[in-house]
Every structure is written in C-alpha cells, then in structure tokens.
Amino acid sequence: MGELPLVLFTVLSQMAAGAFITLYILDVKGKQFSLETGKLSTIVIFITTVVSILLSSFHLGHPLGATKMFTNIGSSWLSREAVLFAVFLILLVGYYTQWKPDKASTRTQLGGVTAIVAFLAITASGMIYVLPARPAWNNFAPVLFFWLTAALSGPLFIGTLFAIKGEKILNLLLPTAIVIGIGLTSFLIYTSLLVSSTGLVQATGINMLNSSLFWGKLLLNWLVPLIIILASVLWKKKLDTKLVTVVFLMVLVGEIIGRALFYGSIEALKIIGS
C-alpha cells in the first residue's frame, strides 16, 4: 500500500493536535490534574507528532530535502502544513516549560496560541487534498473529516493517558457520542452524495462502497464505540481505564482504516483513450 506513510502521518498528527486542544481546554476549564500529567501529555503529544512526521518522510523520494518544504507557503498547502506543524512543535517545547505552579497564566496564553496553530495545521492538511484533479475531494470533505479525526481520537488519547496516570476519570461519554454522531452522519451523507453523483465522483463513491475498508471503518470507528458508550450510559458506568483504552484503540484503528479508504478509493482526472 503505497500511501501508508501518508495514512499514518495524517491520522497520528491529527490525533496529536486534537489531543493538545483537549489538554488545553481541560487546563483552562481548571480541571484537576497534576502538573506531572500535564507535562507527560505534552511530551507524548510532541513525540506522537514527531513520529508522524518521520513516518511521512518515507513518502518522499528525498526525505533529507524535507526542510525545503517551507519555501512555498505562498500557494502550496503542503508547504503551509509543514510550516504549521513545525511551529506547533516549537510551541509545544515552550508550552512544556510552562508546567510549573506559578506559570498557569502564561501557560494558558501560550496554550491558546498553540491550540490555534494545531487547529490551522489540521485544516492545512485537509486543504492539501482539495484538488480539482480529484473531484471527489474538491470540496469541504477532506478538511471536515480531518477535523473529525482530531476531535474523536484526540480526547480519547488524552482520556486514556489520564486514566493510565490514575487521574480522575474524564467524562468523555457525551463529547465522544456527539462527535461520533456528527462523523457518522456526515460520512454517510458524503458517500451517498458521491454515489448519487456522476462520472469520477460517482466512481469514487462506488469504489468506497465496494471496499471492505468501508465497513471496517464504519464498525471500528463509530458503531462499536457508540454501542459501548450507550451501554456504559445505560449501566451508569464511567469509561474506566480498560474501557477508554479499548475505545481509543478501536477508534485509532478505525481512523487508520478510514484514511486508507480515503486514499485508496479516489478517482483522478485523466485522458481517456481506447
């Protein structure tokens, strides 16, 4: 699978960015958790991002030239993405140093900026694929789906981390359920729009439906987690360490499968000859 580096890069980087935004919100909302955990989360987010970027370099013919990628922010979303993630990493370092009792205010300020950069980075990632040559992508969908990846996997990532660190269990049931709801509906609407369309767009839609990845994503990414959550609500259970980890991993795999589907089913414009 040629696009594997891209699949892993996009999913992991979006998860990391989403995780940071979650961390920031928790911090601002004054949720109780130790500086230690804050520190650790920042490190983990940093590492995840770095790893994802390293993975992406396997996609390049000349990985060592990657630094050149900052040079065309004027028009290239790929270039912008590169810059934004670089800035994100730098800010993370700064943010890391702010996990001290007396630095709460500067931390929230710096965190705010970082969160915005993270959000923009995800958006840039999505914009890369808004290409006229790939009609099924040439719309709001890539950006939306990349946001949703961050919004779903990010909080679960942090949730799991916190659970493992023995922090007070975060109540992710509602937010997760909502994001899954939005994701599921928008994805189904998108797919049906593709299929009901014509030409390459329709062809893309049909590729998706014919792919086993489609059902894999549906189940792991949304349905099963949703069921688990509903069940927990019914039995008034919180997402304890075990459960949140399970849901998180499931969603992560679901996202990866989904991204593979995203790259694998697209139909591009070409010259049609016999």
Partner 1 sequence: MGKQLGFLVDSERCIGCHSCEMACKNYYQLHPSLRRRKVHPIQENDYSMPERNYMSLACNHCVEPECMRVCPVGAYSKRDDGIVMHDPSRCIGCKMCIMACPYQVPQFDPEVKKVDKCKMCAQLIDKGEKPACVAGCPMEAIQIIDITSFNKYGAVKLLPGFPNPSITKPSVRFIKPTIGKQIRRDK
Which residues of this protein are in contact with partner 1, per CB under 8 A?
A: 59-63, 65-66, 68-69, 71-72, 75-79, 82, 128, 131-134, 268-274
Are 88 and 117 spatial neighbours (Cβ–Cβ below 8 Å)?
Answer: yes
| Owner of token pair 């789906």 | 145
| Min dist. Cβ of residue 235 to partner 1 (A) | 48
Q: Which is nearer to partner 1, 250 or 266 (CB)?
A: 266
Q: Which is nearer to partner 1, 242 or 270 (CB)?
A: 270
| Min dist. Cβ of residue 6 to partner 1 (A) | 10
Closest CA to 254 of 182, 184, 161, 158: 184
Q: Which is nearer to partner 1, 75 or 105 (CB)?
A: 75
Q: Which is nearer to partner 1, 76 or 207 (CB)?
A: 76
| Min dist. Cβ of residue 64 to partner 1 (A) | 8
Are 250 and 157 spatial neighbours (Cβ–Cβ below 8 Å)?
Answer: no
| Min dist. Cβ of residue 60 to partner 1 (A) | 5
Closest CA to 89 of 57, 48, 55: 48
**C-alpha Rg value of the chain to the nearest Å:** 19
Are 95 and 108 spatial neighbours (Cβ–Cβ below 8 Å)?
Answer: no
| Min dist. Cβ of residue 63 to partner 1 (A) | 8
| Min dist. Cβ of residue 270 to partner 1 (A) | 6
- 3 state SS for 198-267: CHHHHHHHHHHHHCHHHHHHHHHHHHHHHHHHHHHHHCCCCCCHHHHHHHHHHHHHHHHHHHHHHHHCCC
Residues 124-149: b if buried by 16+ CB within 10 A, e if exposed: bbbbbbebeebbbbeeebbbbbbbbb
Q: Which is nearer to partner 1, 181 or 199 (CB)?
A: 199
How many helices (H) and strands (E) the chain has is answered by 10, 0
- Distance separating alpha carbons of residues 209 and 195, to the nearest angstrom: 9
Q: DSSP assignment, residue 172?
A: -
| Min dist. Cβ of residue 72 to partner 1 (A) | 4
Q: Which is nearer to partner 1, 1 or 272 (CB)?
A: 272
Q: Which is nearer to partner 1, 50 or 66 (CB)?
A: 66
